[in-house]
Chain A
């Protein structure tokens, strides 16, 4: 007979005990989790409580900024100066609660900004790009500053007109420009003087630049005898399997950030308020046929292979910095990267060349700017506006632009700013911004989509230079016109729904 009894009774007794233990352990775990989250949040709650109750506690605001490195440091100096002045004011003025700005570095700021606003938890201020303004403003992500800015003493007349314009959309103002930029032709002096030891002046016309581009292009050629030699020019008589590109005079796809803008350099436009999308404007077609001519001369596969060996932009292996590309269209920031990664490099900057038959396009430049915006649903709008007021003051703006080594977007610069500025060509970049031939991305809400379409068109033209440029750009016009009409319908629908 099997021994039933003690072990079975013991098992029966342990089961409820085990179940009880499991339930207690689960409850304890949940309790610990709850307690931990309460404690973690309590700092925030108690802080807010203290802020509410302590009459002298600072009013903290959160400012999201995308920049790191010296650009981020420059903005930090502005924040530190503002905070210092606020503390001084609190010492002098009894009962005044100082504003304290906390700068937070945020990557992918555009997407995170959108998600934060949508989630109802935005920062108080955000440092965005000027091409975000139209899209975000139209979707209600930004605070309308049209009535607010004049009360802060910030007016259109204080700024270089083109930069104020970047912050407007549908007749309203949505942000303020902070660190501006223009573009110019950058030339590697050493490479030019290898061809002509007496070279001084960068090319002025497109045709002159094309001639220089040919002289500055080098190949490693394997001769029919099996030896290797370096040859200059485009070497059209050497088949591709016997030549390797090692240096190029000018490559429109380097750095490749503005594949949409070549038409503008030739006097074209991408959008007209009356005609809509104008991607296949005759001037745009001419510009991209010029791009196609580069691809024909160098060979699409040679360009692909050559470009795939380029290093990161922010590194000594940058194609321009290491001498792989002799001329490049770049922005005012390039001097910073040259001094950081290639301090011994000799270089010159000049206005980008114009077509010889269009002298009216002299000094054509692309302008862009960082902007400071207050998101919709900002927790502390008045405090955020105070910081805006400081950034847009002469002093605040010049601390920022001196630190970022850019020119100021304000119409007036101080003598000290001009004297202390480390950029050797800062006068050139600023004068380009004040000139008549300044262009910026069109302020339409489908701009992101448009840049993707134009980038795709550029790649198609470069990879297939035998195809019709007019047809390719015509395709972009049709696609984007449809997209623009779709967005306009969305906008009208939203306005109607709001009414």
Chain B
């Protein structure tokens, strides 16, 4: 007996209003019509609008679309440029200091798309949502800023004069009072410049600040090993993984790689030795959501559990824990000696990290399931202390010159530190920032920073491998690069950034520098630059580290927003409108509260509460988060930007003022309600259906591998398409971790516009690819399933039957194509689509985007108002492959077409290709016993099929599977 799968709490509770609304294809229209029924006035209003729409539609049809425009050839053609053919250049996306290797696709020398770099160990060809969204940030007009001096528009010359004055002062004072503030730095070139600066001014100091830093991990390493080391997990070798509030696959440097390694051990049809993942956590993480056994544990329970785990693993004592699951976990970990790995998240205290080091050593995983390496970051600091020391010195007037590079402390520093007030006591302050923000408003001199695609630099990946960042374009809006800025302060300007970067790598690249340099640029990695393995020895005392007592009462946890991180991406509308993995919220960051607390306080989603922590007080909306511990509330920082000239303007709540407390909070009900735009209840498939995500356990799978298949039924339709290829996709639900990289990749590739919060509330979001998240079980401890949903390209497509104008038709290769110029917008197709993957363009969303025309993908139509759109299986990529193959008179290769989602996916959940070609990956995956068609009772014969989910829970905990 399967239990029911549900998306939101209202659905689980069968809330009648919700059920009625969910039954409507266009709920907002249904609401308007319901209003029309109740009042004569609005009935007339609706008729009036219908009439007006008809007339306007007729007039709109008269517009013929003049062939017009101009052709502008270059004066000199850059080498290698072929009109309409893409070029690719390797670089990296640098996030919180760490590089993710990327390859940027150019059309006519303009960057339009990001792909992962297969050569880069952090990427292996995949990307995260941030790297995908870099295109939009690159072209963001909000970046257009000029030099500001003391609040007045200024120019570069005046800035350089001010810099020279500050430099002179630093020279005379030997750097006394000179402070530099950056984020985490892995760039060798930047490090060289900073070292040069600190050498020139011996009394100067360098501070580091990332609001979501890994201080506790660093401190934990210092406790355990007496020095800084980085942990390099090797999940492909781990049979048993335990995540303790872990961000291993949703934020840790290198998570894209870890997700790949994780997924390689998850599909029992492809791995003989499926791994088992445990998670102990107060609030759901992605690792917890896909774990085989997930234990909800608030700070108190987590403290007890880890203490018991440590006792069991390190002292060999019986757990003696009241938590019944601890002993089986210990047994399982011990049984997997040398093949087990434990990971703790950065939100946990340093002592816990030290204990995890000790437990990992005791489990014998070092060298097999993980390595200890020399720290990747340059001169790692405890950043909370570093910022605190800086602010204290600023208050005391000891800071004469402050230079802030690519950091936004005026927004992200905890309020109690009083960064903004302290800034009043500083001599000249300088800020270099990607776009105007809170800090550039507060400092004396603000200069625009070049985008990472506009200047030379380098950066290291999670394992230390270095990438040279080559500029992808000349600066669109001018500006200085971080390296140049530091170099300016360090002394007479020694040359352009390119010279500085070449200087850095001169030694490492060997004899034939020119060749090696070009090779390194082309490959996107500098060979043999990974961090050396550390020989650090575990200190004797590490195993007996005592955990700090857990706070009583309700704890508040601060987490980076899954889409906006610490706020640096808040101006990116793709990321703002990206439904967050678990609650599908867009544009907002309400306080996540456990469902029990919601019941006690009689709160629903969007109700306002008074939240106080420490001295801070905020009135914020709440969201009920299933699977969250009852003594924990979670605040996502990053939204609520005070100074944001792009999409971040006016979106969300700023929790940073509370972050100093990092302890307990009180939550009381306040009056009022706030409208939240979550897509959680949008595009529901049939209500109350229980087999959308088919799943089982490993033993049950072994007993019946094809459990997801049903009896084949006789067919009277002949449905073999005549074309030379049969395009199809297979989605592995065992691999999907819900990370959203595919959603943004699809948005970038297919020119999908954002619609804004109000339109999302009206269920008009346009993303062609969405990830449905289903829960099964109780709200307190649900099982979580992710299911990517995109057009199924049904062979018997219901949408095609109802289109009155033939705007959606099949082609000979089995693609269900949308012909936009035929579509008249009846929306019948969407109504008839059982998978709810069609999106109607209600307004001219494409025309309203804040992005220049050159930033769109020229191979895809920018859809106009009034047409239906949906996933095309990246038709433009298929077309490019068809043309390339036809020109050479050969068939399209089995792996030649990769869709945008497939290319971006960190876990290789998507496989696409010609299923009629037995050499193609997709044909092989479709042979999997797990392969099933979604809603097969609809007889649509979708070309997109899924591999059912198999989980591997510990039978000693869950009991024998039924």
A, B assembled together: no
